[in-house]
A and B are shown apart, each in its own frame.
Chain A
Amino acid sequence: MSDIKKIKDEFLDKLSKDLNIENVNQIKSELFGKNGQISNAFKNLGSFPPEERKKFASDLNFIKDELQEKINKKIQEIEIKEINSKLDNEKVDVTLPERNIIRGKIHPVSQVIDEISSIFSEVGFSVEEGPDVENEHYNFTALNTPDNHPARDMHDTFYLDDEKKLLLRTHTSPVQVRTMLKGKPPFKIIAPGRTYRSDSDQTHAPMFHQVEGLHIDKNINMGHLKGCLSYFIKSFFEVDKIKMRFRPSHFPFTEPSAEVDIGYELKDGKIEIGEGDKWLEILGCGMVHPNVLKNVKVNPDKYQGYAFGIGIDRLAMLKYGINDLRAFFETDYRWLNHFGFDPLDVPSNYRGLSR
């Protein structure tokens, strides 16, 4: 018994020293190798008288386990130490720049179109589109603006033929006509898109964007129009309160017609939408003119409703503080980077319009 106790103490002592993995393997074989001391002790088990043998075997097993465990621990210790010492050499300067980041941008007009679509989607509108090139009939005549109507002058139209029959649409309203001609009421649509007028200065661009709205059903009145636009404007500008003013105006294709102003104030040269005491015109609207309904084969005695047209670029400017309309179309990389949106920012009902 004392012999094995001596072995145990001797080797525990050895193992507590600073060792490398070879030393530990050496110790392992000295103990448990073919002629290892513990191995030999097991071999000698038979030489003990039976009454002691049991006790000795039990002690021996106990010591064996203890040493084995100690050796395993030591090996683990050394391995961890080795990895740690390696790590010291593997150290890099993590403050060096990361690999180049690839980040694209969505143009503010596209983002705002998505915002608008999301808002109107929530109250049941669907999106319609129409061609950029229109004929004179869809752009004017069908919209109750006959050839001799002075309102045509206000449209600075781009023409594509000498007879002035083909043109670039001056508003998105022809989509109303196309939509109603190809379907049956009720209609509840918005139509965002490019529009064109031959007008170019600081506040006018020869191309800009509009969104048309149209809701025709049996009993849609001016109260619905006001409610829809009020809902839209609040949602779009993400404010709870907004001052809105409906004021009579004239468009050949709606009667009665209105223009809508919203309240704003200037804070540090930036427009703030909401409660201010200045007015800003943002859209035109009205009840669809019975002549227009007749032109698209909808019975004005049975169906009625409203239409509106909003300048998308203008909305984007107001919401995101963009001062210069022309910059929208000038592809300045710095501008696109600054005013562009991350493609992952998809406006939606449940995640919100914008962050």
Chain B
Amino acid sequence: MRFTIGWLKEHLVTKFKDSQIIEKLTDIGLEVESFEKASSDLDNFKVAKIINVEQHPNADKLKVCDVDIGKKNTVKVVCGAPNAKKDLLTIYAGPGSVIPKNKMKLAVSKIRGVSSYGMLCSESELNLSDESDGITELKPNRYSNKVGKNFFRNKTEKVIDLSITPNRPDCLGVRGVARDLAAAGIGKLRNLSNIKIKNSGPQKIKVSITKSKNQGCSIFGSCLINDVTNKESPKWLKDKILSLGQKPISAIVDITNYVMLDLNRPLHAYDADKIDKEIIVRNSEKGETFEALDNKDYKLDDDMCVISDNSGILGLGGIIGGTRSGTEFNTKNILLESAYFLPRSIRKTSKLLNIDTDAKFRFERGIDSQSIEIGLNKAAQLITEICGGKVSNFDIQSVRKEKKNKIKFKISLFDRITGFKIRDKEIIKILLDLGFEVSKNKSELELQIPTWRPDITQPIDIVEEIVRIKGYNNIKTLVPEKNRIKDTLNKQQKLFHFLQRSVASKGYFETVTWSFTDSKLNNFYKENYKEIKIVNPISSDLDVLRNSIFPNLTFYLKKNLDRGFKDISLFEIGPIFKSNKPGDQLTVIGAIKSGKISRLNWNDENRSVDVFDAKKDSIQTLIEAGYDRGNLFVREKSPSYYHPGKSGSIYLDKDDIEPVAYFGEIHPNIIKKLDIKTEALVGFEIFLDCLKDNKYKLKDLKSKFKFSDYQKSDRDFAFVVDKNFKAQDLIEIISSIDQSLIRSVKIFDVYEGENIPKNKKSIALNVTIQSSEKTLDENDLEKINKLIISTVETKSGAKIRS
């Protein structure tokens, strides 16, 4: 909503300064976005100084000037003026400027092979005088310190730009803004002039509103104005239209626009001679078409509110007029429309057809149903003033009474909600100033809501009116109470935050990427999930919700590799989606690691990342989160985007069906298809929703400390087993032989090759044996040794290596 202070003062008598008005507007909820002069075409003309002149290489009469245009900028301008010389102060017009005399728009152009950035202007080109023999010469004493400044003073008034919230259609007109200011103590609202226009004779074009279901128009007011002379608007009107950044079109169109902006009363003017007999306001039928004033053809659906005549559609009511009946400069007779369209109908139609106009914007927010005649009167008055003509009687057709709403307001609600009190008298004054009709009944007010305030429907709305006009600065600042209803975080949330920092502490950088991704990338990782399309994606490469964290992670990994980074560890903790149903999502950690461990370190072992890095990081994270390593179980099974031989899944327990994590090297085919250039790429995923609640709190776990001081013994074994035999199973076989004696089993070597049969491998283990009851002697140890060997050999088919 844009207007000038001058315009505001047509409705408001005030002695307040501009700055006070601006501040008050924001204080009462009419947020001021800006308060500045509208930019003018003349802003492009700058005072400039020629600092060097050279002969044009290809033309005798032309010169190439270096021109200082201020702010340390110098440009080259080709100029034919005989008086162009070094140190001359003149007027420069940059590319984009429009020359006042011939309305020519400047562009950077080549003149005989030399580029010219703008031009130096003569007085005649600027309409300053008839002098056209050379460029303007400015007097050094006045202009030498003004290089770079605008030559013309911008005489336009400053424009207030308000951001009006959707509940305040009344403030889409200058008068509504003035009313609010008056209520807030910034002056007094002027009365609307009640000069009634002289009407002569009946409105001869018959108007009817069909009484169909879903009729989107309830009132249609109109008048005929005959014998008008349409023309350009007078300067005061043009200036008003221009100050809002709009283009003046013709007096009739400008007047209807002006009344709309002034009173928030949209109007439409038809060329009456183009109307076929009568006006029928009716619902459209599917398939009807018409050409609108935006020069587009629209194909209509059922039940759209149209204004039609006997030949067809003239316009979409309250949204846009049609070309067939539009006014032109030669229009002689006009029909002026002032109607009430229902917000719901306007919204539905404009959404379906995707049209946005000033009128639509206003009608869908709600127009004052009582402003029909006021609007006709004001517009007719202006039209006859400017274009002449005779105005008919006003014809008002209506199919429904737009009633005035009443509410009861308990005054105590005000301080119950705001926490402070103001006197009843002041409350009543504020409401009266806002246009309410008020009657007091003990502690209750009976209010009739002004018809321009469709947003006010219940007592809470009255509280807002009073508090915003009184000022939010009257609300106290109460110290927050610390009482607590429940724990800040539940267990799952604590786990989330714990795991987030746990993974980061292993050298991964946390990232946050979109919840959506490119379907092409997503396809690599989506497995059995359904693709979830976004109907209106922001771009075609962010067209689906992600089924995995990996599409985005690998995409951005590649970007960083392309930036020259090599050893990258990234992770994200966030949602992945199983379907488009609310809640059908999982919280997942996805982590990837590329390149090498300890690259370019003089001391450390230098190797590519591998599956066991991913395994370590995922398992350690689970252990830190409180899951016992002894219970974690690894299977070879993993999704297809991992390397089939170098990946696995982790279960909290051997008997679990759902894995809690995957780890492994990323499938080489994906690395190739994504063109990721790195020595190695591994990753892991942890599914937070699968992590069963750890029943024990730390205090429970801590109470079970047991230890043995008896001597420990270590024994080494090497077993030859089938190549496919799992190390995890071997460890489990040994560990479960005697849990009271076998404290740990460590694999220190795995060997295949010479001296080992094909399809076999040798696994070397170290077993720590300790009793909690006594020091074991040689006999005891020999016994357990033998038991280990025999059990392993029977259960696994292994052979002890001798």
Evaluate contact between B515 and A161: CB separation under 8 angstroms.
no
Find chain A residues with CB under 8 A from B416 CB.
Answer: 219, 221, 304
Q: Mark B465-506, 1 if CB is under 8 A from A, else 0.
A: 001100011011111111111111110010001001111111
Find chain A residues with CB under 8 A from B505 CB.
Answer: 104, 343-344
Contact-size category for A = 35 or more
A63 part of interface (Cβ distance < 8 Å) = no
Bound: A314/B501 CA distance, A:
23
| Contact A332-B580, Cβ < 8 Å, known A104-B505, A159-B534, A224-B478 | no
B463 part of interface (Cβ distance < 8 Å) = yes
Evaluate contact between A226 and B477: CB separation under 8 angstroms.
yes
B67 part of interface (Cβ distance < 8 Å) = no
Find chain B residues with CB under 8 A from A97 CB.
Answer: 601-603
Evaluate contact between B419 and A221: CB separation under 8 angstroms.
yes
Evaluate contact between A223 and B506: CB separation under 8 angstroms.
no
Find chain A residues with CB under 8 A from B542 CB.
Answer: 206
In the assembled complex, how far is the CB of residue A322 from the closest CB belonging to chain B, in whole angstroms?
A: 13
Bound: A100/B566 CA distance, A:
15
| 4 A-B pairs with the lowest CB-CB distances in the bound complex, closest first | A248-B29, A250-B165, A223-B419, A331-B556
Which among B27, B344, B515, B582 is the interface contact of A134 at CB below 8 angstroms?
Answer: B582
**Most chain A beta-carbon contacts within 10 A, residue among B415, B532, B536:** B536
B514 part of interface (Cβ distance < 8 Å) = yes
B192 part of interface (Cβ distance < 8 Å) = no
Find chain A residues with CB under 8 A from B27 CB.
Answer: 247-248
24 A–B pairs (Cβ distance < 8 Å), ordered by A = A100-B601, A100-B604, A124-B484, A126-B484, A133-B545, A133-B577, A133-B582, A150-B365, A158-B534, A206-B542, A219-B416, A223-B475, A227-B479, A246-B472, A248-B27, A256-B417, A256-B463, A256-B468, A287-B460, A290-B460, A332-B559, A337-B509, A343-B502, A344-B501
Stretch at the interface among A25-33, A47-55, A194-202, A264-272: A194-202
A109 part of interface (Cβ distance < 8 Å) = yes
Which among A125, A221, A250 is the interface contact of B29 at CB below 8 angstroms?
Answer: A250
Which among A96, A198, A257, A328 is the interface contact of B538 at CB below 8 angstroms?
Answer: A198
Evaluate contact between B417 and A104: CB separation under 8 angstroms.
no
A207 part of interface (Cβ distance < 8 Å) = yes
Bound: A224/B479 CA distance, A:
7
Evaluate contact between B583 and A161: CB separation under 8 angstroms.
no
B348 part of interface (Cβ distance < 8 Å) = yes
Evaluate contact between A206 and B480: CB separation under 8 angstroms.
no
Evaluate contact between B534 and A160: CB separation under 8 angstroms.
yes
Find chain A residues with CB under 8 A from B359 CB.
Answer: none
List CB contacts (< 8 Å) of A216-233 with chain B: 219, 221-224, 226-228, 230-231
Q: Mark A243-270, 1 if CB is under 8 A from B, else 0.
A: 0001111100001111100000000000
Q: Which residue on chain A has the smallest CB distance to residue B532?
A: A160
A39 part of interface (Cβ distance < 8 Å) = no
In the assembled complex, how far is the CB of residue B449 from the closest CB belonging to chain A, in whole angstroms?
A: 15
In the assembled complex, how far is the CB of residue B513 from the closest CB belonging to chain A, in whole angstroms?
A: 6
Q: How many residues of B contact A (CB 8 A)?
A: 99
List CB contacts (< 8 Å) of A133-189 with chain B: 133-135, 138, 148-151, 154, 158-162, 164, 166, 168, 186-188
Evaluate contact between B463 and A330: CB separation under 8 angstroms.
no
Find chain B residues with CB under 8 A from A207 CB.
Answer: 514-516
Evaluate contact between A99 and B603: CB separation under 8 angstroms.
yes
A12 part of interface (Cβ distance < 8 Å) = no
Find chain A residues with CB under 8 A from B418 CB.
Answer: 221-223, 256
Evaluate contact between B507 and A117: CB separation under 8 angstroms.
no
Q: Which residue on chain B has the smallest CB distance to residue A256?
A: B464
A8 part of interface (Cβ distance < 8 Å) = no
B458 part of interface (Cβ distance < 8 Å) = yes
In the assembled complex, how far is the CB of residue B582 from the closest CB belonging to chain A, in whole angstroms?
A: 5
Bound: A253/B778 CA distance, A:
80
In the assembled complex, how far is the CB of residue A326 from the closest CB belonging to chain B, in whole angstroms?
A: 11
Evaluate contact between A227 and B477: CB separation under 8 angstroms.
yes
Report the tally of A-B residue pairs with Cβ distances under 8 A: 257
**Most chain B beta-carbon contacts within 10 A, residue among A289, A331, A336:** A331
Q: Is the contact region of chain B dominated by helix, strand, or loop, or is it mixed?
A: loop
In the assembled complex, how far is the CB of residue A92 from the closest CB belonging to chain B, in whole angstroms?
A: 10
B170 part of interface (Cβ distance < 8 Å) = no
A7 part of interface (Cβ distance < 8 Å) = no
List CB contacts (< 8 Å) of B572-603 with chain A: 574-575, 577, 580-585, 597-598, 601-603
In the assembled complex, how far is the CB of residue A125 from the closest CB belonging to chain B, in whole angstroms?
A: 7
Evaluate contact between A194 and B515: CB separation under 8 angstroms.
yes
A238 part of interface (Cβ distance < 8 Å) = no
Evaluate contact between B582 and A135: CB separation under 8 angstroms.
yes
Find chain A residues with CB under 8 A from B243 CB.
Answer: none
A105 part of interface (Cβ distance < 8 Å) = yes
In the assembled complex, how far is the CB of residue B107 from the closest CB belonging to chain A, in whole angstroms?
A: 27
Find chain B residues with CB under 8 A from A295 CB.
Answer: none
Evaluate contact between A150 and B482: CB separation under 8 angstroms.
no
A320 part of interface (Cβ distance < 8 Å) = no
Find chain A residues with CB under 8 A from B365 CB.
Answer: 150
Evaluate contact between A333 and B563: CB separation under 8 angstroms.
yes
Find chain A residues with CB under 8 A from B394 CB.
Answer: none
Bound: A234/B269 CA distance, A:
56
A340 part of interface (Cβ distance < 8 Å) = yes
B732 part of interface (Cβ distance < 8 Å) = no
List CB contacts (< 8 Å) of A66-106 with chain B: 96-97, 99-100, 102-106
In the assembled complex, how far is the CB of residue A164 from the closest CB belonging to chain B, in whole angstroms?
A: 8
Evaluate contact between A127 and B601: CB separation under 8 angstroms.
no
Known contacts A110-B500, A117-B489, A328-B512, then 12 further A-B pairs from the complex at CB < 8 Å, ordered by chain A residue: A97-B601, A104-B509, A129-B493, A131-B582, A148-B344, A186-B485, A207-B514, A221-B417, A248-B29, A256-B460, A329-B514, A343-B501
Q: Mark A338-350, 1 if CB is under 8 A from B, else 0.
A: 0010011010000
Find chain B residues with CB under 8 A from A121 CB.
Answer: 488
| Contact A150-B489, Cβ < 8 Å, known A99-B604, A206-B538, A331-B570 | no
